[in-house]
Structure 1
Amino acid sequence: MEPLPNSGTDADGSATLRVLSYNIRSMRDDTDALARVIRGCAPDLVLVQEAPRFFRWRKKLARLARACDLVVLTGGATAAGPAILCSLRASVEHTEDVLLPLTPGLHRRGFATAVVRFAGTRLGVLSCHLSLQKDERYEQGGMLLDRLAGMGVQHAVAGGDLNERPDGPTFRRLAGRLTDCRTAAPWGGEHTWTPTGPYQRIDAVFATKGIDVLGCGVPVGHPGVTEEDLRTATDHLPVLAALRVPAV
């Protein structure tokens, strides 16, 4: 498997970024393996789902970021689970945690969002974990698109656990307006659930039009990422994308 391009900045100010989307199951599994997987992917941005939300959740998330040579950008309990970690390459303009409307009897959902700069680029970022219920999930997909459109940026990336396969209505709704990075430039593995016997893709990274997708997939065989760590870190496999974001 060809390695993904490393992070960097071009002479025109455009930036090559590595974006990782990962459901970490509230760090209830092997946290050392989890940190090794994230660190091995060398991401600039980590779009986290199921970040710790209860007792000492900030300390747990900060501990994970520190183990991965990253910092906590936003999210966690304040976004009902989604969070964003970033490298020190990022200059942060704005962060906002968004709670979505609560459907009685269902879990609260939310978005972790930020606007960041890398060299000459300006990028909106959103991490999500959509509903298990079909109709609510479809409405949340529309809210995601509206949120990206209202961030005041030309380029944006969104990722998360969609709880739906690519042929589902919400996945298709997002892919109709955004670039499904895995479809645009397949790389690595495809299926994200379950780690011990992956058979479906329910996690994804999307980018707005104009961002060049250099590769996207599960980092199976990636240097520094072992299959054993992928199996024991959490109950999802991560999605790693390399993107070239034009300068603004």
Structure 2
Amino acid sequence: MSLRVLSYNVHRYGDDHEALARVVRACAPHVAMLQEAPTWLGTRRTRQVMADSLGLRYVGWSSRNAILVAEGIELKELRRRRVWRPFFRRYPRPRMIATQLPGGTIGASLTVEGVDLALVVCHLGLQKRGRQHEIEQILTLCKSFGLPYLLAGDLNEVPDEPVWRRLAAEGLTDLGSDAGPTFNSSTPDRRIDAAQLSPQLTGRLLPIPAAPADLAAATDHLPLLIELKPGTPVR
């Protein structure tokens, strides 16, 4: 059995809801890892409406990251982490003066064909040095499961910048190196969304079986659809 995982920034669920539902249903994921999902106070009904429209079940969230699952998929453990983003001022002298709004990450473990693995979703901030601080905390969460893992989400920077180099140094496999840009959805020109595998897993990105018009209308990012085959290690 392979596991289909969808990583998708849904832009605060503020665009075309019907187009978003068509995209996600066409992808038919077992697990959806969403960024900019409705997670704030007072959005319980919105979360339920969104999950129902996508044909999925909302099971966990942390700081606008959320995990939804298809019928029959059971997660064993959820782990959340608040991520504080340091904000640096260069003038009149370099110093850390505050923190950006807190971000977060959420991960879950599950068993596929007798193999235990973890899935972790993240959404990094807009401040370059802050992202480097965040990714260290997120990797700590990934490794806390003690399992092979997929890390996916919106990194808010393009390849060859510090976060991507840090993930490569960690030994993760970049599944999207040949996938093309992911932002914006109408005229994509930047790859800022990532799917990264630890060495004990293998997988690939699948084509998105959705109409271009729906992809452009659903949100400002393009999704990543990942097929994992836990029983076949990379090395």
For normalisation by structure 1, the TM-score amounts to 0.83
Which residue of 1 is the match for residue 95 of structure 2?
Answer: none
The 5 A counterparts of 1:13-52 are: 16-52=2-38
Contact 1:165 1:202 in 2 (8 A): yes
Please state how far the C-alpha of 1:247 moved relative to its aligned partner.
8.0
With over 3 angstroms needed to count, the CA separation of the structure-2 counterparts of 1:126 and 1:168, relative to structure 1, is same
Please tell me whether residue 167 in structure 1 is matched to residue 156 in structure 2. no
Q: Which residue of 2 aligns with 1:137?
A: 131
Q: Partner residue of 1:80?
A: 63
Q: Distance in 2 between matches of 1:122 and 1:144?
A: 20
- Aligned identity (percent) is 33
CA distance in 1, matches of 2:213, 2:193: 20
Note the alpha carbon deviations across 1:199-221, whole angstroms, 9 max, x for none.
Answer: 010001111112122x31662xx
| Partner Cα distance (2:85, 2:132) in 1 | 14
Q: Unmatched 5+ residue regions in structure 2?
A: 87-97
**Which amino acid in the other structure matches residue 72 of structure 1?**
Y
| Matched pairs, number | 221
**How large is the RMSD of aligned CA atoms in angstroms?**
1.9
Q: Say which SS state the counterpart of residue 40 (structure 2) adopts.
A: coil
Report the CA distance shift for 1:145/1:107 in structure 2 as closer, same or farther (over 3 A): same
Distance 1:40 1:118 in 2: 22
Question: Greater shift after overlay, 112-121 or 155-164?
Answer: 112-121
CA distance in 2: counterparts of 1:65 and 1:118, whole angstroms: 23
Q: For residues 175 and 44 of structure 1, do their structure 2 counterparts lie closer, same or farther at Cα, with a shift above 3 Å needed? A: farther
Q: CA deviation at 1:102?
A: 4.8
Larger radius of gyration: 2
Superposed displacement of residue 53, structure 1: 3.3
The aligned runs of 1:4-19 (5 Å cut-off) are 9=1, 16-19=2-5
Asked if the contact 1:218–1:237 (Cα under 8 Å) also holds between the matched residues in 2, the reply is no
Q: Summarize the Cα distance change of 1:247–1:182 in structure 2 as closer, same or farther, 3 Å threshold.
A: closer
Give the letter aligned to residue 101 of structure 1: W
Which residue of structure 1 lines up, in the alignment, with residue 90 of structure 2?
Answer: none
The 5 Å alignment of 1:173-188 reads 173-177=166-170, 178-183=172-177, 186=178
CA distance in 1, matches of 2:215, 2:207: 10
Segments of structure 1 that go 5 or more residues without pairing to the other structure are 1-8, 10-15
Matched, 1:98 2:81: yes
